[in-house]
Amino acid sequence: MNEEFLNQATRVILGETSERETLDFQETLEKDAEKNAAYKELKEVWDLSDTYKRESLAEKDWESFSSRLTAKPKQAFLRGAYQKMAIAASIVLVATVAWVTWIQVFSWESVEATASNQEIILPDNSLVVLKKGSELRYKKQFSSNRLIELKGEAWFDVTKDAAHPFRIQTKETYTTVLGTAFDIHELNEEGDVELRVAEGKVSFEAQGAQLILSKGMAARYSTTEKSLQTIEFGSMNQVTWMKQKLTFNNTDIHTVLNDIAHYYEVNISYTLPSSYCTLSGEFGTATKEEILEILEVVLELDMDVQGNTWMVRKGTCRK
């Protein structure tokens, strides 16, 4: 049975799949008797071993785990064609399935960027910059299954490997790529996602729809509308946050405020004319307090700040 099926089966057993994913998986089982039988074997072994909480498979651990499995009547593991096998062969089968289940469940690496942006070098040498407050996880056996599960925002610079496509899963979207550089931003808890491609080409999928995006293209998935659509790429600041800088060059006020809101993870409410003063300079290392001072002094904005909500009351600067 292929690893992708085993991974999906394990996530179903652990209750990690969405309702839609679970229904799709059940439909697969109904159509494929072999997969259905394999899933039942995995579920049976997992149910027998659900109290095993060790973090390693050292010899002593495995003996304890194995003894509980083999303590059950061996006939419980014999189904269909397996009834013709010897008892010794059935024990080997159970141990093998248990091992596969263990690998699928406990072989994930998890990373959470709590204090600051975090740079990660994956086992295939792909680079990920995980934005503060975001988290991801990936398989320890990453070279054969390049799957990333992402919550939040991350920049990816992917090592090319035609035999093993690189996949990123958010709550409701899948992005597939062979080798490129791009930014994925999960915008909220509902699962809205924006994708911007800086290099190469990617496949962006959700709800059965697919978009192929190349360098300079961007797209958005809306959970409310359950739809994918292309959008304007916008400012490069939207994808260069991982370099810890914001660069403006005679940039209009709307772009400035939108880029600052994205970079500092705040909500900025404003009503200003497009003819308002522009801004030039590099400000990525500035604190929130410093960037507020820039907005108030340099751009003459009267700001009302309440936590992560910034409101522009008025502005007096003119070109």
pLDDT in tens, 255-307: 999 999 999 999 999 999 989 999 999 887 889 999 999 999 999 999 999 99
DSSP letters for the chain: --HHHHHHHHHHHTT-S-HHHHHHHHHHHHH-HHHHHHHHHHHHHHHHTTT---S---HHHHHHHHHHHHHS-GGGG--GGGGGS-HHHHHHHHHHHHHHHHHHHH-EEEEE--SS-EEEE-TTS-EEEEPTT-EEEEESSTTT--EEEEESEEEEEPPP-TTS-EEEE-SS-EEEESS-EEEEEE-STT--EEEEEEESEEEEEETTEEEEEETT-EEEEETTTTEEEEE----GGGT-GGGT--EEEEE-HHHHHHHHHHHHT-EEE----TTS--EEEE-TT--HHHHHHHHHHTS-EEEEEETTEEEEEEE----
pTM for the full predicted model: 0.64
Mean pLDDT of the chain: 82
Domains located in the chain, CATH noted: 3-106 (no CATH), 108-236 (2.60.120.1440), 245-315 (3.55.50.30)
pLDDT in tens, 7-66: 777 778 877 778 778 888 888 888 777 787 778 777 776 666 544 443 444 455 555 555
pLDDT in tens, 146-165: 999 999 999 999 999 988 99
